[in-house]
Structure 1
Amino acid sequence: MVCFGKKWSLWQRAIASVSASAILLESAVLSVIAAPPRSPDKTVECEVLVVGGGLAGAATAYESLLAGRTVCLTELTDWVGGQISSQGTSALDETTRQRSLLYYSRGYKELRRRIENKYGELNPGECWVSFSCYIPADAHELLFEQLEDAADRGDGTLKWFPATVIKELELSGDGKQIDRAIAIQHKPRPGTPPLNAKPLSQTIEDAYRYANSSQFEKTIIRFSAKPRSDNQPADWYVVEATETGELIALADVPYRLGLDPRTHREPSSPVTTTDPYCTQGFTYTFAMERTEQPQPQEKPSFYDQYAPYYSYELPRLANFDLVFTYRRIWSPRSGEPGSFGPFKWTTPTPGDISMQNWTWGNDYRPGTSKDNLIYSREQLQQTGQLQSGGWLGGLRAETLRRGEENALGYYYWLVQGTTDSQLEDDVKHPNPNHRFLSGFDAPMGTAHGLSKYPYIREGRRIIGRPYFGYEEGFSVTELDISRRDYSKEYYQETLSPRMYRNLWVALAGLKSAEAIVNNTAPEDIMRRTRSTIYPDAVGIAQYPIDFHPCMTLSPPEKPGNTEREGVRIGQGSSFPAQIPLRALIPQKIDNLLVVGKSIATSHTAAAAYRVHSFEWSSGAAAGMTIDFAFDRAIAPYQLVETMPRVTRELRDLQSRLQWSGNPIAFPDTSIFNLDWSQW
């Protein structure tokens, strides 16, 4: 049985009503009196430092623990799991064919089994967006138990550091190694509210400051390598697994952010130059419960500011019950059966709980230099965050605050709103038989009811090292995975003749050389019907290229605002794809691996390489690569420096991955297999 507190305590309500002016005043004071760095309070040694406790970071830790390694795992929030827990998106994004074969990494399959064992079924919410929707708070507990069990089975050591952020990196003299990482762990001061009493925007910059504050006591931790007696190219490995690519910004390795310029490999890009400000929207999720009787609904003071944004988006989705059941995460009893296109669903009943994650709802989609969430490198320099001791997380706290307000306003729109920004006014009607779930025993585990951290769809993405055919640095691009029809007039009209021809030569697959020699016209080239096959594949990914584009004007909720024109052009289905090891290896630093959303992908490819099972596969690849690197006394970059020629060591790593139950390719992947219609 699942029970949740129905009311905040009086002091929780007081916290929630703290005025914005008081918060701004405290922030200003903190910035003035911030103390200089003091000596670390303690030093912690490990073989693998994983920074970020999302699914990719958890997967890295899982495989490292099974291999008997000592793992330090840090996380800004106090929950492990990222998307499935602290970000509240507890509805597994999976493709039909892959799910039918259960073709996933072994740790991801174990997580699915644990969810099923917890509830007696995989989908206790009877949602229709996924085969598995569940309570975020439970996901943290299940995943943490899985990591503890992995440590027991593999004789590894897990050192867990919740509420901990990395403040500085100390590099070797030649700059090629991370020697130490300086972290700050925070906890509430005695007599102050517990963690998660305030939303992230009110605590994030404080969490990154060395000085104790009115709300937090800080412990400064120095992470360093566990002493080794063997001769290794690296004494330890650091894994970037944060949601926005914090370490690659701190280390200042080459990376991209936002829109990439249009090229023959990224032909659907709407811009000819980079635009670091237009990233995919972020979402503060929340949970709401269906009730027998109408509930009092308090209109937020800021509601009118955000109301011009909210919409059901499409006429076929203009149904409250559809939206509610879309990501329903708990249903104590089944309602009447129904269907929506190919999806089967049941009508809501009292006690049902829904998690909300809606594009024209609690998505917040800034897209200009005035309001972008993830600071560009130029903005980081301007704000002093790249100076020694200046790092504050690399996010705009004001935009986080607006995202929080937007989410709370969306709840009110759902239950009381009567307008729709994209459809006719008569489609939206009040639905007051609901209550907003808040409190530490509620699904999101916060006093304010919003997720502990927003769901981030896109962060900083590394540019891999140069290789043959990738002289400017390796990256997975749109052309590597997309199933789009590039013979459409749009591409002929938008691309230069040379760029259009290069696109089709690249799509010719095995016939590329022949197309070049014979100067074959684009209309006479038969395109390959598969994704790019990588000789250094270490994981798998498949999901449609799915955009939640930035908005054109600032602020995003501005009346009449529209999505940035052209961003959705590349949207659509993709082929089963691979995760190449080169995408995990940044430039400049040899003992840093990158997993999750920050691997080397383009903006378009990242829209497919961002869901749950991909994150796990990339993390599993990193964990096993690190263990292999220790076993063979070889650095990960050395495994791929001969690309496209494959070394014996790389083949041995790939064999180890596959033997352990971590696939590196989908069934029947071959340069000769041109039939992927079943996928």
Structure 2
Amino acid sequence: MNQHTLQADVIVIGGSLGGTLAALAAAKQGLHVILTEPTDWLGGQLTSQAVPPDEHRWIEQGIGAPGTFIEFRERVREYYRNNYPLTEEALTNPILNPGNGWVSRLAHEPKVALQVLEDMLAVYVNTQRIEVLYQTVPVEVDVEHDTIRSITVNRLGHYRPKYTTLIGQYYLDGTDEGDLLPMSGTEYVSGAEARSQTDEPHALEEADPLDMQSITHVAAVDYIEGGDFTIDKPEEYEFWRQYTPSFSEYPILSWYATDANDTTKLKEFTLLPNEQGVTSLWDYRRIVDPSIWTEKLSAEVSLLNWAMNDYYAGPVTGVPLQERIPNLESARQLTLSLVYWLQTEAPRLDGGKGYPGIRLRGDIVGTADGLAKAPYIRESRRIKGMYTITEHDVSKELRGEQGIKRYEDSVGIGSYSLDLHPTVKTHRTFYIPNYPFEIPLGSLIPVRMKNLLPACKNISMTQIAGGCYRLHPVEWNIGEAAGYLAAYAIQNELTPQEIYESSEHVSRYQDMLTAGGVQLHWPEEVEKEVLQPSK
């Protein structure tokens, strides 16, 4: 076996959004970082998974996300202003939404997000403070006395050593599925907890570690009226055409899906904007809107990340490869089946069927087939930490007049409903109203391991809490907090557990976060706003 060794202060495994920001934060503190990524795009859900940023209503005020995330958003807008033929109105719009998708205030192309992220990393990558190993996955973790000694990775290219040993002082798990946790023997949970464990009203009666949220393999498409871009019939099309989830009387490939505001009801959708009042999905995740351009260079482009291609027929995390690989392929088949159904059989409001002008756009997502480089993974394995976030910390109903839960050891803030997509076994789904929330340091500290930190959706929280902590700005914040925590630990020759147990060190670490632009607590005016009775 051809193998060699690389060393750094911090090893970040997984170039997810959180993993990427963990590397950037540690590098800003003067540390040498090695960052690995299984694809050739950094940025996870924002780029290789092609999911526009889900945010909250205070984001345009610069509240509720790290300063670097706010900077990222403005850099995206500037990219469009500098490089696209925008109309005068769009150029001067301070809250420009490039795609005018209604799921996000900043619906934009994954390639633009990638370019901006790479620009933010550039000085550290170009000076080798951050070394990025693309197409690289972990294969073995060497642990001794609750401490990771090294991680062996497989570098998938043939023109360089295939196996490399990575040695660092701290190891951060920035993978979307918490891959390092089982590999290192770190205590973790997955799937659904039992109500007896968490006292959460929406928890299952019995725990089920494989009852995880559905994944989605996103596709990029445009629509050319009068064109015919019908793909070959997918191998699993007949299966998905008839597949009917337990919570619906309609097949998954239909215009009826769960209503986000009331998950006990179904809502009718259609493809295109219309005058009949039926909700259009086309502009839901539209990321290219040429109506704000002065030149007609493109058709509109939208991303297929809908209820119709949520894959909940089986788990992909924590199962043997002989089950994982077919399920990942079936998730792809479901999305291709959605495309084929749209092209050939989807009912139109005018009484016809099909939109053959739907065209897959691989150039948008950097692939040959139009599907994103990686599936959108909503739920990870999660460490058992010093503090576990639960439904009680976030739910508006459960907290009542207490309002926002404050933590003295907060390392960041966010806001989003507790949004659980259908799970793969019980098909539970809900959308629970929330209060804005904070991220406690205790949720980043493993109960035993000394030099492993979560940097993604793998902090100590329940499945239900993960429904809101998985969003872009929160994952970004978690990664940044983990990178700074590793730096503080190295600089002060302390373990994360020792930092957590010292109010003085927690305070000094929080000062580091604040200096880096991380917001630790929600402003009082937001708390007053959310406590006002609904009109």
Range class of TM-score, shorter chain: 0.7 to 0.9
Question: Residue 68 of structure 1 aligns to a residue in which SS?
Answer: coil
Q: Does residue 1:483 correspond to 2:445, yes or no?
A: no
Residues 296 and 624 of structure 1: CA distance in aligned 2, closer, same or farther (over 3 Å): closer
1:296 CA displacement: 3.8
Select the residue among 107, 121, 141 that pairs with 2:115. Answer: 141
In the other structure, the counterpart of 1:657 is 513
Q: Does residue 1:77 correspond to 2:39, yes or no?
A: yes
Structure 1 counterpart of 2:373, which letter? K
Q: Is the 8 A contact 2:367 2:373 kept in 1?
A: yes
Residues 665 and 427 of structure 1: CA distance in aligned 2, closer, same or farther (over 3 Å): farther
Select the residue among 524, 538, 545 that pairs with 2:418. Answer: 545
Measured in 1, the distance between the counterparts of 2:192 and 2:209 equals 6
1:304 CA displacement: 1.4
Q: Is the 8 A contact 1:278 1:549 kept in 2?
A: no
More strand, by proportion: 2
1:433 CA displacement: 2.2
Q: Deviations over 1:173-206 (max 9, x none)?
A: x2x21111101111268xxxxxxxxxxxxxxxxx
Say how many residue pairs are matched: 493
In the other structure, the counterpart of 2:488 is 628
1:532 CA displacement: 2.5
Measured in 1, the distance between the counterparts of 2:61 and 2:124 equals 26
Measured in 1, the distance between the counterparts of 2:347 and 2:380 equals 33
In the other structure, the counterpart of 2:59 is 98
Measured in 1, the distance between the counterparts of 2:161 and 2:332 equals 26
1:667 CA displacement: 1.1
Measured in 2, the distance between the counterparts of 1:288 and 1:188 equals 33
Residues 60 and 629 of structure 1: CA distance in aligned 2, closer, same or farther (over 3 Å): same
1:660 CA displacement: 2.4
Measured in 2, the distance between the counterparts of 1:476 and 1:463 equals 11
Select the residue among 289, 303, 310 that pairs with 2:237. Answer: 303
Measured in 2, the distance between the counterparts of 1:478 and 1:429 equals 43
Q: Does residue 1:448 correspond to 2:369, yes or no?
A: yes
Q: Where does 1:365-404 land on structure 2 (aligned, <5 Å)?
A: 365-366=312-313, 371-375=314-318, 379=319, 396-404=324-332
Select the residue among 352, 356, 361 that pairs with 2:300. Answer: 352
In the other structure, the counterpart of 2:272 is 320
Residues 123 and 246 of structure 1: CA distance in aligned 2, closer, same or farther (over 3 Å): same
In the other structure, the counterpart of 1:284 is 217
Residues 158 and 350 of structure 1: CA distance in aligned 2, closer, same or farther (over 3 Å): closer
In the other structure, the counterpart of 2:24 is 62
Measured in 1, the distance between the counterparts of 2:267 and 2:189 equals 36
Residues 156 and 104 of structure 1: CA distance in aligned 2, closer, same or farther (over 3 Å): farther
Measured in 1, the distance between the counterparts of 2:116 and 2:59 equals 23
1:432 CA displacement: 2.1
Q: Where does 1:104-115 land on structure 2 (aligned, <5 Å)?
A: 104-115=65-76
Task: State the TM-score, normalizing by the size of structure 2.
Answer: 0.86
1:416 CA displacement: 1.8
Question: Residue 342 of structure 2 aligns to a residue in which SS?
Answer: helix
Q: Is the 8 A contact 2:2 2:162 kept in 1?
A: no
- Structure with higher Rg: it is 1
Q: Where does 1:186-335 land on structure 2 (aligned, <5 Å)?
A: 186-187=156-157, 219-225=162-168, 236-263=169-196, 265-298=198-231, 299-308=233-242, 309-312=252-255, 313=257, 314-321=266-273, 322-334=280-292
Q: Is the 8 A contact 2:391 2:464 kept in 1?
A: yes
1:159 CA displacement: 0.5
Residues 544 and 433 of structure 1: CA distance in aligned 2, closer, same or farther (over 3 Å): same
Q: Is the 8 A contact 1:84 1:136 kept in 2?
A: yes
Measured in 1, the distance between the counterparts of 2:392 and 2:71 equals 33
1:576 CA displacement: 1.2
Q: Is the 8 A contact 1:65 1:151 kept in 2?
A: no
Coordinate RMSD, CA, aligned: 2.7
Identity within the alignment, %: 28
Structure 1 counterpart of 2:236, which letter? F
Q: Deviations over 1:309-353 (max 9, x none)?
A: 212324453343421111111122259xxxxxxxxxxxx997111
In the other structure, the counterpart of 1:493 is none
Select the residue among 451, 464, 478 that pairs with 1:604. Answer: 464
Q: Is the 8 A contact 1:88 1:444 kept in 2?
A: yes
In the other structure, the counterpart of 1:164 is 136
Q: Is the 8 A contact 1:69 1:156 kept in 2?
A: no
In the other structure, the counterpart of 1:364 is 311
Q: Where does 1:435-584 land on structure 2 (aligned, <5 Å)?
A: 435-438=359-362, 442-465=363-386, 474-484=387-397, 527-552=400-425, 564=427, 567-568=428-429, 571-584=431-444
1:151 CA displacement: 5.6
Select the residue among 437, 451, 472 that pairs with 1:591. Answer: 451
Measured in 2, the distance between the counterparts of 1:66 and 1:482 equals 35
Measured in 1, the distance between the counterparts of 2:228 and 2:338 equals 16
Measured in 1, the distance between the counterparts of 2:465 and 2:29 equals 31
1:254 CA displacement: 1.6
1:241 CA displacement: 0.9
Structure 2 counterpart of 1:169, which letter? V
Task: State the TM-score, normalizing by the size of structure 1.
Answer: 0.68
Q: Is the 8 A contact 1:318 1:428 kept in 2?
A: no
Measured in 2, the distance between the counterparts of 1:618 and 1:50 equals 13
Measured in 1, the distance between the counterparts of 2:200 and 2:504 equals 36
Structure 1 unaligned residues grouped into runs of 5+: 1-37, 190-216, 226-235, 336-347, 384-391, 466-473, 487-506, 508-526, 553-562
Residues 638 and 626 of structure 1: CA distance in aligned 2, closer, same or farther (over 3 Å): same
Measured in 2, the distance between the counterparts of 1:453 and 1:264 equals 33
Structure 2 unaligned residues grouped into runs of 5+: 82-90, 243-251, 258-265, 274-279
Measured in 1, the distance between the counterparts of 2:323 and 2:202 equals 25
Residues 349 and 319 of structure 1: CA distance in aligned 2, closer, same or farther (over 3 Å): farther
In the other structure, the counterpart of 1:33 is none
1:374 CA displacement: 0.9
1:633 CA displacement: 1.6
